[in-house]
Amino acid sequence: MPADAPIYDRVALIGLGLIAGSMAHAMRRGGLVGEIVGTARSAETRDVAREIGLVDRVVDTAAEAVAGADLIVLAVPVGAMGAVAEEIAPHLAPGATVTDVGSVKGAVIEAVGPYIPEGVHFVPAHPLAGTEHSGPRSGFASLFDNRFTLIVPAEGSDRDAVARLDALWRGMGANTEEMDADHHDLVLAVTSHTPHLIAYTMVGVADDLRRVTDSEVIKYSAAGFRDFTRIAASDPTMWRDVFLSNKEATLEILGRFTEELFALQRAIRTGDGELLFDYFTHTRAIRRGIIEAGQDTAAPNFGREPTT
């Protein structure tokens, strides 16, 4: 249902990929904002956005996009956040809020924070939603429905600005929670970053294992490997920046993963079926918890449409 009054008069989207595009669709669906202005580094992306009417107005530079905006969303790879913040800083309106959608928070706060002028609010955030697709055509209004968005206020963030951004995300269908940056980065290292690295690795192993031909890998992809390839199809620029920006937390979780993997190797080698059964029973319960929390479905094929 559309909002009674816009939460923001003008929103500037810097970057026009999956997340920013989905935000545009969701904001329109809810009547949450007055005008949506967008820009992207690539002229091709800007042309596509204009062609499909993704936002109300597409401009060629970030400086143009933020002029007069009361909310600015940095939807660019984590490694580019600092440069974009430096570019837009002189053009930000007093009282505006700058936020982001990056999946690392400590590095973003460190990169962006120094460029935020006095009188402008900086409220980092991270929607825990996405697909393996990217680009301006990939967004859709329901991407955030019943998914969590973590609000990660920087030190000294204005509470009214935090509440206003929170209301926007809830208006777009998300559940919201606040979290500090260090804890966010550790949680995401467990729930997203390390699983992606493992998926990339497993697909790489299959590619290296020449005893299994390319055609067999493709033709006989059972559910497990197929899901690895879906995850590993994600945007390589984004994930390169994530791992370089969340290095400490990712390495900590990778170390723990390696220890667990060694324990399972030992159990398989020694025929310890009891340890394997208990381990798999415990992890199965975690999967049930994810479904019960409404963050996935128990439908056959994970609710995906069957391929024909």
Gyration radius from the chain CA atoms: 21
Residues in the chain: 308
Q: Please tell me whether residues 23 and 158 are part of one structural domain.
A: yes
Q: Please tell me whether residues 80 and 202 are part of one structural domain.
A: no
| DSSP secondary structure code for residue 238 in this structure | H
> Mind listing the pLDDT tens digit for each residue in 5-45?
899 999 999 999 999 999 999 999 999 999 999 999 999 99
Q: Please tell me whether residues 252 and 121 are part of one structural domain.
A: no
Dihedral angle computed from the Cα positions of residues 162, 296, 241 and 124, in that order, rounded to the nearest 10 degrees: 0
In this prediction, residues 90-107 reach a mean pLDDT of 96
From first CA to last CA, the distance across the chain in angstroms is 36
In which residue are the tokens 């951004």 written?
A: 165
Give the containing element (helix H, strand E) for 73: strand 71-74
Positive or negative: CA dihedral 73, 77, 78, 83: negative
How many distinct structural domains can be found in the chain? 2
Global pTM reads 0.82
> Mind listing the pLDDT tens digit for each residue in 148-194?
999 999 888 999 999 999 999 999 999 999 999 999 999 999 888 88
pLDDT at 209 over 70: no
d(CA 277, CA 263): 13
Assign residue 93 the CATH number of its domain. 3.40.50.720
d(CA 62, CA 41): 9
Contact assessment for residue 283 and residue 135, using Cβ atoms and an 8 Å cutoff: no
Helix, strand, coil: what percent of the chain each, to 5? 55, 10, 35
In a domain, 33, yes or no: yes
92: closest CA among 73, 112, 109, 72?
A: 72
In a domain, 285, yes or no: no
In a domain, 3, yes or no: no
